[in-house]
């Protein structure tokens, strides 16, 4: 297994894209998520947070009927909630990157992400921060510190 590709986020949509992937991958084979990713990207309008945050229950029902995406209501709801929360954080801190840099340590940043955003656990927070090029401990160190075992096979 190789490390995920890192990006230089240029907009809130980039952050929401990475966070949404961190929300959708737990409990699923990464190949399933990869195969459905184009449909997920289209369903969430290229992760435009203003649009996604405005999704209504009717939109959720439309997504639940869309065979091009992973139809998990909790993950869909989390993505919509996270878009709104990302907009709030961006306004409160004068930028999402500024918010991420405001904690002083990986542990504090990851803890706030897990508290503030839905369906983002310990591994999802690490993945998110790594992909958006925020400071994270080395993978082996992080796994040992957090009691995470390497996947078999």
Long-range CB pairs of 65-72 (<8 Å, 24+ gap) are: 66/39, 68/36, 68/38, 68/39, 68/40, 68/42, 68/43, 69/36, 69/39, 69/40, 69/43, 70/24, 70/28, 70/32, 70/33, 70/36, 70/40, 72/24
63-109 pLDDT per residue, tens:
999 999 999 999 999 999 999 999 999 999 999 999 999 999 999 99
The whole-number average pLDDT for the span 46-70 is: 98
Sequence spans of domains, the chain? 12-145
- CATH code reported for the domain at 12-145: 1.10.340.30
Q: Which pTM does this prediction carry?
A: 0.90
């Amino acid at each position: 297994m190789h490390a995920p590709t890192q990006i230089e986020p240029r907009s809130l949509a980039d952050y929401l894209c990475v966070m949404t992937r961190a929300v959708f991958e737990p409990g699923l084979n990464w190949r399933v998520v990869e195969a459905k990713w184009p449909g997920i990207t289209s369903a969430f309008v290229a992760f435009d947070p203003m649009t996604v945050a405005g999704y209504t229950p009717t939109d959720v029902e439309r997504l639940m009927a869309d065979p091009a995406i992973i139809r998990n209501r909790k993950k869909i709801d989390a993505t919509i909630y996270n878009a709104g929360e990302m907009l709030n954080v961006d306004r409160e801190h004068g930028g999402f990157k500024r918010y991420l840099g405001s904690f002083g340590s990986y542990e504090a940043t990851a803890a706030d992400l897990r508290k503030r955003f839905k369906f983002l656990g310990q591994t999802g927070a690490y993945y998110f921060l790594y992909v958006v090029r925020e400071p994270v401990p080395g993978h082996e160190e992080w796994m040992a510190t957090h009691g995470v075992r390497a996947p078999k096979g």
